[in-house]
A and B are shown apart, each in its own frame.
Chain A
Amino acid sequence: MARPGLPTATTAPATGAGGISPAAWITALVLLFMPALASDFFLVQVFGWTLILGTIALSLQFLAGYGGMVSLVQMTVAGFAGYMVAILGTSGLGQISLGWPFWLAVPVAILLAVVFGTLSGALAVRTAGIYTIMITLAIAAAFFYFTRQNETVFGGFLGFNGVRAPVFWGIDWRSPVPFYYLCLGWAAIAFGLVTWVIRAPFGLALQGIRDNPRRMAALGFDVTAHRIAAYAFAAFLAAPAGILLTWLNGQIAPGTVGIGPVIDILVIAVVGGLGRPIGPFIGALLYVLLRLFALDLLVALGLSGQRFQLLIGIGFLLTVLFSPDGILGLWERAQQRWAGPSGGGGR
């Protein structure tokens, strides 16, 4: 039996053509034709950033929602991949960067980040609950302080600037429209992979382990191996998003992998809703909009802009207070209310 509030494979949206709701179709269409609607800034800084953060939070949602492991190391894995791209590829710090071409630097960076994520997972899986959170937070904090102190490999406080997205097939992949599709593409692949994996035998076993590890072990499943594999898979989702984040900012520095951003990913996932893969993306959109426009909103209301952080905090607090399962839960409850007891959320 699934514990209440935790997702099961059956509550995930069906992937068969008949099962896709009209809302999903519309969302997909809008996302696909977004460049026709949105300005360059919205395309890149709002939607690009949302998709990137959403994908990183999705890797956390996968671990937490389906594996029962709340890992704070996901932002670090993404940042690690970003650092690797800067170190292996080209950047403004010529004396450190190795200058490999992107088609070599990117796959190697992803591979290294997956190794890093898997090792972190191997350390963390033997713990549970709050101890998992603590050990992953410790890894994240250690990595942050290390990058800030180390100048010979990680470039210290300033990090790497001038990290450019590649130009090939005659396209500059950092120009707004191609970059948006790059982000959308990886987010869609990650989303698809998660919805597929949770219905595959591995994903079902993982959910079984989440609900009753002892019983799964008795049935002959290797609990530890499954959990480590889940970390590896999550790292594989987060790593390319980290590289995209580095290209988005044109740079990577300790501020990207600091304790703040690490917690932000958890906040995004929780506020969006840990129940389904779409949750993290909703949370990311709310986070990005608040981050970018909270100050403007206060000024527009005639208030002093100084307290914009308060607005961000209150926004998240209210969401969690009124809906412990995030915005997604809010939406599902509203749907059930409108549709009556028989329709809607499927629980």
Chain B
Amino acid sequence: MKKMLLAATALASLALVAAAEAAEKLKIGVTATLEGTYTVLGEDGMRGFELALRKWNRKAGGKDLEIVVVSTDTTPDSAVRAVRKLVEQDKVDLVISPLSGSEGIAVRDYAHTQPQMTFVNAASGAMETTFVNPAPNFFRWNMDGAQWQAGLGDYIYNNKGYRKLATVGEDYSFVYTQVFGLAVEFCGLGGQITQRFWVPLGTKDFASIIAALPDDVDAIYLGLGGADAVNFLNQYAQAGGNAKIVGGSIMVDQTVLSSKGRAKEILKGAVAASGVADTWEDPRWQAFVKAYRDAFPPDKRFASPSLLAVNYYNSASAVFTTLDLINGDLSDGHKKFRETMAKLELDAPNGKIRLDQNRQAIGTNFVTEVIEDAQGNLVSKVVKVVENVNQTLGLPLDKFKALGLPSRTNPECKKY
């Protein structure tokens, strides 16, 4: 008993020391997909986060930043486990999480149960996360999957003359949201989506899908990411596929374009839309690309920062800027932090970003085509810039709500 008492005292004094230390330090928890299908995405996301840390010299609001990283694997289970560890065990002051679409919905639900903590989305892009039952303590500084498709439908209909599409996508929230964004615009103009194929996240063998792809379409839309995207392209190339490609935001992205092998060649000329474009002339973007290239050796990075690196960089920048503005004072239960962050306008490398009433980003979107640059790298070239893209894609709220939520079959392909 005496021993236990002694141990308890020792523990208590340790806790006191920890509390005293915490007064001068701010602990930030981050999650990224460092395992599974989206490992490369998580790793590049962490590079973006590291860039923000370096820019702020690991200090924000006058306090030293201490970072705790937890890995997830795109499943909602792993995301909940990760943020619970950050909040309840590591006792972080702020959480930047998560990376992937279905994780985002799970973390938002967890955020509802932790009203004292503030969660800043790292990169996830499912629409429901901020559109349905939004949590007052959950902020998202990146656009959702549908916003990231803004301008794409219009461009392929009017400039490329595509009228019929078939889609192949990973079977989860983010890609439903992407196809949603594409369908609203493309079908609104009179385009047709004849078939939608859904493959489980982490699929290795696409043979049956490739065999089932229709011939009587103008192009095939691919909404795949990470290892899935590379596997699909390899198998599609081997099968002699040569359809025109329209790509989702993480399909035509450096996480795929930088992959080894020839399969990615299929992507040459592919049209896509995303929150970033590799060759954008804007000085803010060029400065960011230079910082990214200078910070990491060529074999430890991509030719140009991916969408994930930019999202993580922006989310971290928003957190650090807000902390600077309030002098790192979180003692009022994050009240000042949240009020300041809600009003912040972020001058991000991919254009100015502000938040709407659901704390969801309104930003700039890019329609791109894949080209080979002077060094032989595949990069995305801007063909159209769409500014001020909001979550309802420019539609009035009631009309947008009437479309329903993204799913395998929703929205129907028709004029709205």
Contact = CB atoms under 8 A, between A and B. Distances in A.
Contacts of A37: 8
Interface residues of A, number: 34
A162 B109 contact: yes
A97 to B, nearest CB: 15
B89 A42 contact: yes
B136 interface: no
Interface stretch (A17-25, A144-152, A268-276, A320-328): A144-152
A164 to B, nearest CB: 9
B282 interface: no
A252 B357 CA distance: 30
B80 A249 contact: yes
Given A41-B88, A45-B88, A251-B80, A161 B75 contact: no
Interface in A296-345: 296, 299, 305-306, 308-309
A292 B88 CA distance: 12
B76 A255 contact: yes
A253 B81 CA distance: 13
A15 interface: no
Contacts of A156: 171-172
Interface stretch (B66-74, B316-324, B328-336): B66-74
Contacts of B34: 305-306, 308
Q: Is the interface of B mostly helix, strand, loop or mixed?
A: helix
A181 to B, nearest CB: 18
Interface string B60-99: 0000000011110101111011001100110000000000
A250 B68 CA distance: 23
Nearest to A92: B109
A292 B71 CA distance: 10
Given A45-B84, A157-B172, A305 B69 contact: yes
Nearest to A33: B4
A40 interface: yes
Interface of B: 8, 34-35, 43, 68-71, 73, 75-78, 80-81, 84-85, 88-89, 102, 105-106, 109-110, 113, 171-173, 200-201, 407-408
A-B complex: 4 closest residue pairs judged by Cβ atoms: A255-B75, A41-B89, A41-B88, A157-B172
15 contacts: A39-B89, A42-B89, A45-B85, A149-B171, A158-B76, A158-B102, A158-B173, A162-B109, A250-B80, A253-B77, A255-B77, A255-B78, A292-B85, A306-B34, A306-B43
Interface of A: 37, 39-42, 44-45, 92, 145, 148-149, 151, 156-159, 161-162, 249-251, 253-256, 258, 292, 295-296, 299, 305-306, 308-309
